[in-house]
Structure formats: structure tokens, C-alpha cells
């Protein structure tokens, strides 16, 4: 169902997908090597501006459309999208800044517990709403955070590579969701979304 007002779903999907390709790709393929400070600066900026800013923008827009402006009130499931985009956006501001500053990532393991919960809640909400593609997204996000907990807390290369693999898989799914949302909203298609 396409609501009368068009939520910025593709903006949030695309931003997160780019973040997962940049961060997941560099760890999974071990290229470029993070030994160079300039690489960490570049990755940090990508993390702040693509997944961070784009998701935060999408989440804020959705919450404004649900609360102050009545644009999305007929689609209350967007509350979960607003919660996820806003939370994940701020989360990526921190991840990107930490990468830029080459900060210790151990505490990211504790952060991942909270984001695992948001991922589970999202899977439940979109599952009950029969929105299977977005439910799949939240299941993939949960798997990323399940891997992130030991990868960060124990600095485990095996778990870090697993996390990176699922970031790449999730990034690919996010690109499909970007494609589907854009064609559905812009051209009236009825792609799996």
C-alpha cells in the first residue's frame, strides 16, 4: 500500500546500504588496509554522511509526518520506520566519528545489544504487518548486530568478518529496497516492498 504522502524510505535505505558496503566491504575484502589514517578518515566521513545523515533525515521526516504534520497518520507502521531510521542514523554518526578518530570500538559491543533489540522489534512489527521485504531487512540487521557483539567486545577477527559478510548481504538487500521504493513511488510500480 502506498500512502498519499510519500515517506523518504529510499533515502534511508540507500544511506544505510552505502554504509554497509563501505564498512562491510573494507573488512570482508581486507581492502583498503586500515593502517592508513587517511583511510579511517575517509571511512568515518562516509559513515557520518551517508548512513548517518541520510537515515537521521529520513527518520526525522517520518516522525514529523506522523506527529506535527498529519501526512503519514494513515500509515502508523511508519512509526517503526521513523524509530529505526532516527536511531540508526545517530548510531552511524557515532560509528563514523569513532572511525574518523580511530577510537576504540570495544564499547560498540554493548551498543549492539540495544540495536539488536530495535532490529528484533522491527522484524516483529513488519512481520505482523505482512511487509515481508522490510521484515527480512530487520532480520538481516539483527544478524549484523549478533555478530557485532563478540566482534567488538572481544576484537574477534572471525566475528568481524561474519559481521562484514552480513553487512554486504544487508547492503545488497537495501539496494533492492531502494530500487523498489523508488520505482513504486515514482512510477506506480508494484515491486516486492
Q: Is the pLDDT of residue 5 over 90?
A: no
The model's confidence at residue 73, banded by pLDDT at 50, 70 and 90, is: confident
Contact by Cβ (8 Å): 61, 25: no
Q: Is the pLDDT of residue 183 over 70?
A: yes
Q: Is the pLDDT of residue 3 over 90?
A: no
Give percent of the chain above pLDDT 90. Answer: 90
The model's confidence at residue 2, banded by pLDDT at 50, 70 and 90, is: very low
What grid cell was written down for 109? 559491543
Q: Is the pLDDT of residue 186 over 80?
A: yes
Q: Report pLDDT for 34.
A: 72
The string of pLDDT tens digits covering residues 106-159 is 999 999 999 999 999 999 999 999 999 999 999 999 999 999 999 999 999 999
How far apart are the C-alpha atoms of 177 and 192, rounded to whole Å? 8
Q: Report pLDDT for 36.
A: 79
Mean pLDDT, residues 74-95 taken together: 96
Q: Is the pLDDT of residue 50 over 60?
A: yes
Backbone angles phi, psi at 181, to 5 degrees: -60, -40
SS (H, E, C) the chain: CCCCCCCCHHHHHHHHHHHHHHHHHHHHCCCCCCCCHHHHHHHHHHHHHHHHHHHHHHHHHHHHHHCCCCCCCCCCCHHHHHHHHHHHHHHHHHHHHHHHHCCCCCCHHHHHHHHHHHHHHHHHHHHHCCCHHHHHHHHHHHHHHHHHHHHHHCCCHHHHHHHHHHHHHHHHHHHHHHHHHHHHHHHCCCCCC
Length reported for the chain: 193
Q: Output b/e per residue, 41-51; b: 16+ Cβ within 10 A.
A: ebbbbbbbbbb
Q: Is the pLDDT of residue 54 over 80?
A: yes
Q: Report pLDDT for 4.
A: 58
Which domains does the chain show, CATH number per domain?
A: 9-187 (1.25.40)
The model's confidence at residue 1, banded by pLDDT at 50, 70 and 90, is: very low
Q: Report pLDDT for 171.
A: 98
Q: Report pLDDT for 62.
A: 97
How far apart are the C-alpha atoms of 37 and 113, rounded to whole Å? 29
Chain mean pLDDT for the chain: 94
Amino acid at each position: 500500500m502506498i500512502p498519499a504522502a510519500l515517506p523518504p524510505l529510499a533515502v534511508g535505505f540507500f544511506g544505510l546500504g552505502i554504509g554497509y558496503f563501505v564498512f562491510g566491504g573494507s573488512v570482508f575484502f581486507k581492502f583498503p588496509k586500515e593502517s592508513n589514517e587517511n583511510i579511517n578518515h575517509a571511512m568515518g566521513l562516509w559513515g557520518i554522511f551517508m548512513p548517518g545523515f541520510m537515515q537521521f533525515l529520513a527518520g526525522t521526516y517520518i516522525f514529523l509526518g506522523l506527529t506535527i504534520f498529519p501526512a503519514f497518520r494513515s500509515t502508523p507502521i511508519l512509526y517503526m520506520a521513523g524509530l529505526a531510521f532516527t536511531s540508526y542514523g545517530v548510531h552511524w554518526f557515532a560509528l563514523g566519528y569513532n572511525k574518523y578518530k580511530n577510537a576504540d570500538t570495544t564499547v560498540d559491543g554493548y551498543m549492539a545489544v540495544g540495536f539488536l533489540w530495535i532490529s528484533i522489534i522491527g522484524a516483529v512489527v513488519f512481520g505482523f504487518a505482512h511487509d515481508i521485504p522490510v521484515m527480512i531487512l530487520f532480520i538481516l540487521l539483527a544478524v549484523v548486530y549478533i555478530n557485532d557483539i563478540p566482534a567488538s567486545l572481544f576484537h574477534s577477527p572471525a566475528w568481524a568478518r561474519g559481521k562484514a559478510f552480513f553487512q554486504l548481504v544487508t547492503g545488497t538487500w537495501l539496494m533492492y529496497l531502494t530500487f523498489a521504493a523508488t520505482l513504486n513511488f515514482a512510477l506506480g510500480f508494484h515491486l516486492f516492498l
